[in-house]
Amino acid sequence: MGKEREQQLLPGRDRHLATRFSYGLTPELARDVRRAGGAEAWFEKQITKPHKVADGAAERLRGWWPDLDRSPADLWQRQVQEVRGGWEVMADYGRWLLVRRMTTRRQVHEKMTEFWEALLHVPVSGDGQFTWRADYGDTIRKHALGRFDELLQATTTHPAMLIFLSGATSTKRAPNENLGRELLEIHTLGAGRYTEDDVKASARILTGWRVDLWKTWQLSYEPEDHWTGHVRVRDFSHANSSADGREVTRDYLHHLAHHPLTARRICERLATKFVRDDPPEALVRRLARTYLKNDTAIVPVLRELVASKEFKASAGRKLRDPSEDVVATYRALGIDVRRPASSASAANAVLWQAEAIGLSPHAWPRPDGSPVDDATWISPARMLASFEVHWSLAGGWWPDDDVRYRKPTRWVPPGKGVRFRDLVDDLSRELLHKPASKRLLETATRATGCRGKERITRDHELAEWKFPRLLAAILDSPDHYSC
């Protein structure tokens, strides 16, 4: 038994990489990693050839929420005619993301899509932008392992972003500063790296992009709205003499994407997300250099990040955020989520679970996007809410429509059963992908009242009705909160 168990677990370094760059290390993912020849080989395949990873189950999920593929005008009409509100469609978007994260075998691509979607943030709430929001996410998804300069072009001039940050109606008469400012502060250079004159010039450059709000929702470029004349933003300067300002927009965004301050800011955020809060300066500097040397290509930066000693030293120390917590819990428990038939179905209700812990996908209400640091998510409210979600999933009590939970018989063999300490170890290996520590065994003992040598059979009270206590004790341990 002991040897067989050892073989099921990935070595520590592999466990770390596959955990940090996924939504939870399951036996299936461990098998993918082993088949690839180790976590590094798996990672390389994930970042360079994600399309080669068969992912039919995840692709089919989109069909569960058909409103996500309606056109902006159609979605708007349905809202006006009170067929279905925009907020409901956006709830579907969050659900799709959560279930996709549970399901996809392209875990790194999914993780990076989320990362960029949080940096280049357009909240899912909002009167107008919901019409374009799913398309916006799809746009980011295409570039998630590509080049940042191309990603930034695609997002800044996307209707969802233009609507959210008031670019869609900004004109030369009184340019709206919203998009011009947040582009500098959040998407590229960072706070305090520009002057108020830079903000005004940034806003002027971006005039001309237009979305036909409340009607067709089509994107257009209107030369008569574009502010012309010389512009300067820090070290970018342009004559901007043409009424068609699309070229100056392109040059400006290219300049910003390649700016050393942008490199720093993006790499600092990457290191915060995938290494730790307040990441070491030396690491950020190395990553920024790689980013600039590779023309803003993302893959070489990721490669350097996971090879770093800082990444290796951070194993098991990163806190899961609310959505990651929920998704990892579904994955750990092997919960089988089925096509939803009603709002009570697990595939739909999962959204409220993420919200209860603190945040559903991309619902952060401010332009700076969901935080990637740990500090934000360490609060008593979060802990209590995580306990609640873990408890209800451990028991399989809620959600209980269109979902299948595993039964204790999966872990408790018939007949003579299993010793309690071996049962805890089995569960630890499956749920946490590591052997049970002394502390975990003691925690499990306190939670259930069972002693280590006690024999657990299928008619033991633990198997019959106390099993959720044991599962929750494992899910509520520090090893499940971190990744």
Give the residues lining the site for another protein (CB under 8 A). 165-166, 169-171, 173-178, 181, 185, 191-192, 196, 199, 319, 322, 356, 358-359, 365-368, 374, 376-385, 387-388, 390-392, 395, 439-440, 442-444, 446-449, 468-469, 472-473, 476-478, 481
Q: Which is nearer to another protein, 239 or 381 (CB)?
A: 381
Nearest Cα neighbor of 24 from 348, 470, 482 is: 482
Q: How far apart are CA 245 and CA 87, in angstroms?
A: 34
* Closest CA relative to residue 405, chosen from 467, 343, 341, 455: 467
Round the CA-based radius of gyration of the chain to a whole number and report it.
24
Q: Which is nearer to another protein, 226 or 382 (CB)?
A: 382
Which of 196, 224 has the CB closer to another protein? Answer: 196
Spatial separation of the C-alpha atoms in residues 372 and 273, rounded to whole Å: 5
Q: Smallest gap, in angstroms, from Cβ of residue 422 to another protein?
A: 19
Least distance from another protein to the Cβ atom of residue 83, Å:
23
Least spacing, CB of residue 82 vs another protein, in Å: 19
459, 442 contact by CB (below 8 A): no
* Distance of closest approach, residue 64 Cβ to another protein, in angstroms: 28
Measured from the CB atom, the residue of 110 and 182 that comes closer to another protein is 182
Q: Which residue type does 385 have?
A: A
Least Å from the CB of residue 59 to another protein: 33
Q: Which is nearer to another protein, 153 or 437 (CB)?
A: 437
Question: Min. distance of Cβ 195 from another protein in angstroms?
Answer: 11
Residue 89 to residues 10, 86, 157, 231, 357, Cα–Cα distance (Å)? 40, 5, 23, 40, 21
Identify the three-state secondary structure at position 255: helix
The Cα 325–Cα 355 span in angstroms is 11
| Of residues 245 and 358, the one with the C-beta less far from another protein | 358
- Nearest-approach distance from CB 151 to another protein, in angstroms: 22
- Residue 279 or 340: the one with the smaller Cβ distance to another protein is 279
What are the C-alpha distances in Å from 175 to residues 170, 178, 201, 206, 226?
A: 5, 9, 9, 9, 9
- Cβ contacts of 452 within 8 Å, gap of 6 or more: 419, 420, 421, 441, 445
